[in-house]
Amino acid sequence: MAYDGTAYHGWQVQPGLATIQGILEEILSGIEGKPVHVMGSGRTDAGVHALGQVAAFDITNPIPPDNLRRAVNRLLPEDIRVFDVRETALDFHPRYHAVAKTYEYRVARGEICLPFERRYVHHHPYPLDAAAMALAARCLEGTHDFSAFAAADDRDELGLSKMRTVFSSALFDQGDRLVYRIRGSGFLKHMVRNIMGTLIEVGKGNLDELGMLSLLGSDWNRKAGPRAPARGLFLMSVEYPPASTLSRAGTLPSSG
């Protein structure tokens, strides 16, 4: 599914607030005639967008997947769209079975940000050393402790590991726009936005490659740069193991 996150308080249900999960559960519960719980591949923050979010739920209504997709889209607001529905194994979980996710962050560098782009980029019309940012971005590849890039989370008391594997981390200079793309095994709360904020500090000359490398560890005295705004961030895709292990129909896609 895809959504414009501007009007929503993130993915996760919150009492009295509009969220992606909450709207989906309301619609699907109406179709099913009883409460339906929707599981997502991850909890995108308020204002974050998605081009390839993956969600799953159980229903007993024998409606064919394509008909269900059309029915849900008729009921959804225009800034949320389901573009594919498939039947999976009963034990499939969109978060725990995911093997990789890709996020993209977009920075507009021009003096003027066009009105129809302002919700989907971080407007930063100031000098940045894109080459230095690209070198620093590569430092994040590999398996590291990303504690310095993680926001406080309600699951911190469980003592869960903050080790994550980043398969690729690259920044592309497109002239009036910078695009940062990161693909990894999983991401911590606000991790990508904190990485982007730190890369901007590199671009300003306030941090170098060694400074970026020094943040990769469990030393809580070191923290990342200021968090970048949510509006520039997109969840691009979620990847899963081969379809044969997850789908009775054998058709589950490898990415969102």
C-alpha span between 107 and 181 (Å, rounded): 12
User: How many Cβ atoms sit within 10 Å of the Cβ of residue 121?
Assistant: 21
45 is catalytic: yes
Q: Which runs of E-coded beta strand occur in 48-176?
A: 49-50, 55-56, 80-81, 100-108, 122-123, 142-145, 163-173
- CA–CA separation, 54 and 171 (whole Å): 25
Catalytic residue among 45, 129, 173, 208: 45
Neighbours of 102 (CB within 10 A): 20
Task: Count CA within 13 A, CB hemisphere, residue 223.
Answer: 8
Any idea which residues carry the catalytic annotation? 45
